[in-house]
Amino acid sequence: MNSRSWLVLALCFASAASSSRVHAAPSAPGFPKKVSGLVTSPLATGRQPDGMVRLYFSIGDELHCLQANGRGCDGFPVALGQKVAVLGLPAVGDLDGDGVEEVAVALSDGRVVVVKADGVPLAGFSFRAPKGLQAGPSFLQLDGERRPELVVGDKEGRLHALRADGSERAGFPIGTGGAVTSAASAGLLGEPARLALVWGNEEGRVYAADSRGKALPGFPAVTGYLVSGQPAIGDLDGDGLNEVAVASQDFKVYAVRHDGSLLPGYPVAVGARLLSGPALGDLDGDGRLELVVAATDGQLHALDTRGQPLKGFPVKLGERLVGAALVADLDRDGEEEVLATTADGKLHVLKANARAFPGFPARLEGLPDSGPVVIELDGQVLIAQAAGERASAFKVRRVGKSARPFAWPEPGHDSARGGRRFPNPPSFADLQISPKTPVTDDELKASYRFFDLDGDPEPGTEVRWFREGKEVPELAGKLSVPAAKTAKGQRWRFELSAPGAVSRQSAEIVIANSSPGAPKITF
């Protein structure tokens, strides 16, 4: 090879290397951060009153904390006891109602430890399950706007709801049989909607109970094996009623209605064990939620409300996926991305069409046991991930102006492990005009069903009528149209909107001529 050929080849390699450097996901300032040992729990995020984001995690029998700038937190690490391990995920919430979050961990000796932001144990709180624990805790609001309770299940099959002083909520613990093996979720279920807790156990059963501890009709739903992933609550089919999505270790994904029945198309067999719960997000932009699950065979699955895979899925990312998959609009362009981590130390980010997101996969400086979390701080989106003895945080370049909350930025949706899609915009369903086949003598009447999956009251709903595709201003705010306003052959529909709501419009109807009356005969 002559010198000119060598020069061309060298320039090609240099160009490729430069391109790789430009497109690789950049690390956030202060990261990657070497910590004092192998990280042994998933990350949990916290946010202090001053807005500073924290990352909580365990290293052996210690609870550690890093700030979003990579610096340690005062008062940490916290010794949790001798020869104990953290079970499941840490949870973050304000249990004592002082406006500052606490972090809670379930331990292998049966204790739940709650630590204040300064590393000091929460005064007065004490809990130990005599037969031990098998899953992590959740901070769940069971009384509307009041402070949350700390909910955790034990190996005796009892679900506990604990206050800041360690006492049980009235109606708890709930006894269910087999050991509780997942964190509990909470959301509105049923019609009329009521707050319900949902959790899985070692027998593959998925239980649901109201905030007083009373079982919901139709539950438990039954899967074929242990459920270790936290159930996910959200309106999967867009009907204004929440469903429950469950990933079971029987290699199947379930979507269960509020009465315990399955959505058509479910369960879906994915061919491998599912250790973590589903993430929910609208990947294809059709207004309905998809389910995303990470399987132990390295396949990432995205399923629609009918149980069908989205185009491009499943996608093989590696030999094994660790931790839960996430869904978030990372670059704020209004379209969701999907995140998952492989056991060989790669953090993957995919677009909704299953193609790689620019800058990813990112190489981690260690072998991970869990997945990432997504953070937004001062307008900057970060992806944090622990692997081996290092914590990493990658910056994502913002290209859009969307300010929507992230769809599913952490396992269990949020650091409290609430397990439900939140917040949700109010919306409308069952829009109808009656009569369905009107004639010129008929008054048109509009009807609809308002719903808010977060339990908020109906805002000021605006009603607008359209005749032949053009708005009729004098009918604004009216739920009926006088017969005198209509004529044969006209097309009518109405539209509903409200502050913060998803607008909806009815089907169009066509006015028919009135039936002729009885003939008049005179003599």
The model's pLDDT over 125-143, given as tens digits with 9 standing for 90+, comes to: 999 999 999 999 999 999 8
Kindly tell me if the per-residue pLDDT of 4 is higher than 80.
no
- Write the pLDDT tens digit of every residue in 202-235: 999 999 999 999 999 999 999 999 999 999 999 9
Closest CA to 323 of 276, 382, 393: 276
Q: Where in the chain is the domain with CATH 2.60.40?
A: 427-511
Task: Round the average pLDDT of the chain to a whole number and report it.
Answer: 92
Determine how β-strand 504-505 pairs with β-strand 491-497. Answer: antiparallel
Determine how β-strand 337-342 pairs with β-strand 480-481. Answer: unpaired
What SS3 state is found at 19?
helix
Q: Which residues of 15-29 are buried (b: 16+ CB within 10 A; e: fewer)?
A: eeeeeeeeeebebbe
Kindly tell me if the per-residue pLDDT of 19 is higher than 60.
no
Residue 1 confidence (pLDDT): 47
Fold of 427-511: Immunoglobulin-like (2.60.40)
Rounded to 5 degrees, what are φ and ψ at 474? -70, -10
Residue 21 confidence (pLDDT): 37
Q: What is 36-161's CATH superfamily?
A: YVTN repeat-like/Quinoprotein amine dehydrogenase (2.130.10.10)
Of 3-12, 38-47, 282-291, 413-422, the range with the lowest mean pLDDT is: 3-12
Residue 2 confidence (pLDDT): 47
Instruction: Tell me how far apart the alpha carbons of residues 181 and 138 are, in angstroms, rounded to a whole number.
Output: 13
Percent with pLDDT over 70 in the chain: 93
Percent with pLDDT over 90 in the chain: 85
Positive or negative, the Cα torsion across 94, 89, 348, 77? positive
For residue 184, what pLDDT band results from cuts at 50, 70 and 90? very high
Instruction: Tell me how far apart the alpha carbons of residues 138 and 187 are, in angstroms, rounded to a whole number.
Output: 13
Q: 513 vs 426, 441, 508, 516, 520, CA distance in Å?
A: 38, 8, 17, 9, 19
Q: Quote the tokens at residue 465.
A: 């009528």
For residue 145, what pLDDT band results from cuts at 50, 70 and 90? low
Predicted structure pTM score: 0.90
Please report, as a single letter, which amino acid is at residue 329: D
How much is the average pLDDT of 435-464? 94
Name the burial class of residue 352, with classes exposed (0-12), middle (13-18) and buried (19+) by CB atoms within 10 angstroms of its CB. Answer: buried
Q: Where in the chain is the domain with CATH 2.130.10.10?
A: 36-161
For residue 192, what pLDDT band results from cuts at 50, 70 and 90? confident
Residue 517 confidence (pLDDT): 61
Looking at beta carbons, which pairs linking 502-509 to residues 24 or more positions away fall under 8 Å?
Answer: 502/287, 502/425, 502/426, 502/427, 502/428, 504/427, 504/428, 504/429, 504/431, 504/448, 505/431, 506/431, 506/432, 506/433, 506/446, 506/448, 507/431, 507/432, 507/433, 509/433, 509/436, 509/437, 509/438, 509/444
